[in-house]
């Protein structure tokens, strides 16, 4: 049984010539570590890990430069 904790991944990109960060895309992350694991949740499909309070959906921000 995987942990199954969820998070929202938001990928942002800077807009050339400005200081604005534009939300590029979002994806849902699901922890695929075994249930009851220690430490941060991990989604190996998306290569992200995050910490979250139990029962809360975390938001993970990732910045990519063009």
CA distance 38 to 40: 7
Interaction of residue 41 with Zn ion, rule CB under 5 A: yes
Interaction of residue 43 with Zn ion, rule CB under 5 A: no
State the pairing for strand pair 6-14/58-64.
parallel
- Residue 12, SS3 per DSSP: strand
Interaction of residue 5 with Zn ion, rule CB under 5 A: yes
Interaction of residue 3 with Zn ion, rule CB under 5 A: yes
Size of the site for Zn ion (CB under 5 A): 5
Interface residues with Zn ion (CB under 5 A) are 3, 5, 31, 33, 41
């Amino acid at each position: 049984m995987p942990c199954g904790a969820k998070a929202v991944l938001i990928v942002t990109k800077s807009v050339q010539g400005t200081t604005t960060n534009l939300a590029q895309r979002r994806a849902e992350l699901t922890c695929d570590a075994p249930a009851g694991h220690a430490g941060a949740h991990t989604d190996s499909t998306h290569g992200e890990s995050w910490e979250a309070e139990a029962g809360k959906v975390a938001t993970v921000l990732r910045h990519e430069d063009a």
